[in-house]
Chain A
Amino acid sequence: MTAPVDIQNLSITFGTGPGAVKVLPSVSFAVAAGECFGLVGESGSGKSTVLRCVSLLTDIWTGTVKIAGKDVRSLPLRERCRLVQMVFQDPYGSLHPRQSVRTVLSEPLRIHGIGDRDARMRQALVDVGLPVDFLDRFPHQLSGGQRQRVAIARALILEPSVLLLDEPTSALDVSVQAEILNLLARLRELRGFTYIMVTHDLAVVDHMCDRFAVMQHGTITETLPRAAIAGNLATHPYARELIGASLEYEGHGRG
């Protein structure tokens, strides 16, 4: 149920020759099976793009992405879907406004020909801490946190090994953020998911991730263990600056 992710020389280039624009010059990192890996960096540094490449939502990239030792490009669609799923940033935009929770959860099961749908849907809702009678609700009848739980349930229902989390809490208010993060942490303990998590927030990294990479201008400046946050042990100047700024901000917040 758990799988390592290996990304080598992931890059996106528009155009050819001297006028070519490298949007994502080159990204390489490896995530061990069952690990939670964070991607942090300023807006526009390419964090989310990496996730979209790994999930093949964007497929104009070059390089290799291997999940559980298999190249994602050569994986059949169905198998890929059952290996990688994604949770999006904005729970208001990631649920179809006219589909009930039941439809949202049963569609993937139907597409993959998985039986026993009712029991699975109930289980998925229980797993994310929602009452079972939410199945017949529509997104506009749910709060932001509940929507994000539904989005997580949707990602879980195909029982993937790798979850890509694209700032799963940044659109939620603080108390709900903690609930969702704890839910994600608990699910990882139970199921041994591999997480790749994009975030702006180093506190989230500190809470969730084993290791993290600091990105700037589409490249990874430095990969650090979680322990490096507290003492700001980064060596790259940008990573140091980012962690320093975050520590200072948090210090203010606490003081």
Chain B
Amino acid sequence: MTQTLRLPAPLLAARNIVTFLLRQPTSAFGVIVLAALILTALFAPLIAPHDPYVQNLNNVLQPPGNGHPFGTDELGRDIFSRLVWGARITLTIIFLVTIVVGPIGMIVGTVSGYFGGKVDMVMMRVTDIFLSFPSLILSLAFVAALGPSLNNAIIAIGLTAWPPIARLARAETMTFRNADYIAAARLQGTSPLRIIVKSIMPMCLPSVVIRLTLNMATVILTAAGLGFLGLGAQPPLPEWGAMIATGRRYMIDSWWLVTFPGLSILCVSLAFNLLGDGLRDALDPKQMNRR
């Protein structure tokens, strides 16, 4: 007890959570796959055996093997190298979407939950409007309006992914709003802004983090979907969804063009889902108290 008290609280909490996640096989799988993804993205130049953009028209549609572990695509580019570099794009999308969506959802949700009344009414109706579209369709509309590119795809996904987070944060806020510790903070002259930031947001954070993690799988799939429809990353960027889209034409004869990017998407989104599930157990307030 005395030993653990010396570590700063956030570090201690992080260590506890990781230990907890690694103890269960499913969430351990998630952690390992994501660690592998991050390492791959960081060391892409070292891992990839070939340049992902160099075409070799003498060597197109080669099956796996012979110096190309996952084969080559219709322009003779090494699929393995493209997947490795694609990890960077996938991680960028996830990272950017998350840092946009998390704060927006959290702010909208906590403000509307804390103030209630008309503020809540207006903000939640706006949220409802966003929620009432299928997110892929809404992203499509945004990308169509903004023009197809990876950045616009990120913006579009960000714009469509925040409402569930806002809903969640609002529901959580409403359960804490009337707690005695909020009343005590009000009695001490704490401004609403300070109450939201210092008292309410930390309470909403675990469930928002879980939700964001579970959302990442959807984000990857949406990004891949947009890439597949030609509205996300543009050629020659090695984005996984776009790779499937171009590989589709050769699918019957050259299965490796779509299989390996597809497996990558599957693995990563599965990993995020499992990690999210694990986090839900790890961040459960009841478990918190036990630690």
Residues of A within 8 A of B (CB): 55, 57, 77-78, 80-81, 84-86, 88-90, 93-100, 107-108, 111-112, 136, 138, 140, 151, 154, 158
A98-B203, A140-B289 known; A57-B187 Cβ under 8 A:
yes
Q: Are B184 and A86 in contact (CB under 8 A)?
A: yes
A98-B203, A100-B9 known; A88-B180 Cβ under 8 A:
yes
Give a binary string over B274-287; 1 marks a CB under 8 Å from any A CB, 0 the rest.
00000000000100
Q: Are B198 and A107 in contact (CB under 8 A)?
A: yes
- Residue pairs across A and B with Cβ atoms less than 8 A apart, 14 shown, are A57-B183, A77-B189, A81-B187, A84-B187, A88-B180, A88-B184, A93-B181, A96-B185, A96-B202, A97-B285, A97-B288, A107-B198, A108-B188, A138-B9
Q: How far is the CB of A126 from chain B (nearest CB, A)?
A: 20
> Which are the 4 A-B pairs with shortest beta-carbon distances?
A94-B180, A81-B189, A108-B188, A88-B180
Q: Are A86 and B187 in contact (CB under 8 A)?
A: yes
Q: Are A55 and B188 in contact (CB under 8 A)?
A: no
B180 / chain A contacts, CB cutoff of 8 Å: 88-90, 93-94
Residue of chain A at shortest CB distance from B200: A96
A55 / chain B contacts, CB cutoff of 8 Å: 187
A151 / chain B contacts, CB cutoff of 8 Å: 184
Helix, strand, loop or mixed for chain B's interface? helix
Report how far A95 CA is from B203 CA in the complex, Å. Answer: 13
Residue of chain B at shortest CB distance from A133: B5
A88 / chain B contacts, CB cutoff of 8 Å: 180, 183-184
A89 / chain B contacts, CB cutoff of 8 Å: 180
Contact of B188 among A90, A97, A99, A111 (CB under 8 A): A111
Q: Are A98 and B189 in contact (CB under 8 A)?
A: no
For residue B149, CB closer than 8 A to chain A, the reply is no
For residue B186, CB closer than 8 A to chain A, the reply is yes
B194 / chain A contacts, CB cutoff of 8 Å: 111
For residue B252, CB closer than 8 A to chain A, the reply is no
Q: How far is the CB of A70 from chain B (nearest CB, A)?
A: 16
Residue of chain A at shortest CB distance from B194: A111
Q: Are B186 and A108 in contact (CB under 8 A)?
A: no
B202 / chain A contacts, CB cutoff of 8 Å: 96, 98-99
A140 / chain B contacts, CB cutoff of 8 Å: 288-289
Interface residues of B in 124-180 (CB under 8 A from A): 179-180
B56 / chain A contacts, CB cutoff of 8 Å: none
B5 / chain A contacts, CB cutoff of 8 Å: 136
A94-B180, A100-B9, A136-B5 known; A81-B289 Cβ under 8 A:
no
Report how far A225 CA is from B189 CA in the complex, Å. Answer: 34
Residue of chain A at shortest CB distance from B181: A96
A57 / chain B contacts, CB cutoff of 8 Å: 183, 186-187
B234 / chain A contacts, CB cutoff of 8 Å: none
Report how far A141 CA is from B191 CA in the complex, Å. Answer: 28
Q: Are A81 and B181 in contact (CB under 8 A)?
A: no
Report how far A88 CA is from B190 CA in the complex, Å. Answer: 17
A81 / chain B contacts, CB cutoff of 8 Å: 187-189
A100 / chain B contacts, CB cutoff of 8 Å: 9
Q: How far is the CB of B2 from chain A (nearest CB, A)?
A: 10
Residue of chain A at shortest CB distance from B6: A136
A90 / chain B contacts, CB cutoff of 8 Å: 180
> With A112-B188, A151-B184 given, can you name 12 additional A-B contacts, CB distance below 8 Å?
A57-B183, A78-B189, A81-B188, A84-B187, A85-B188, A88-B184, A93-B179, A96-B202, A97-B203, A98-B202, A140-B288, A154-B184
A158 / chain B contacts, CB cutoff of 8 Å: 188
Q: How far is the CB of A135 from chain B (nearest CB, A)?
A: 11
For residue B92, CB closer than 8 A to chain A, the reply is no
Please indicate which of the listed interface residues B5, B189, B190, B289 has the most CB atoms of chain A within 10 Å of its own CB: B189
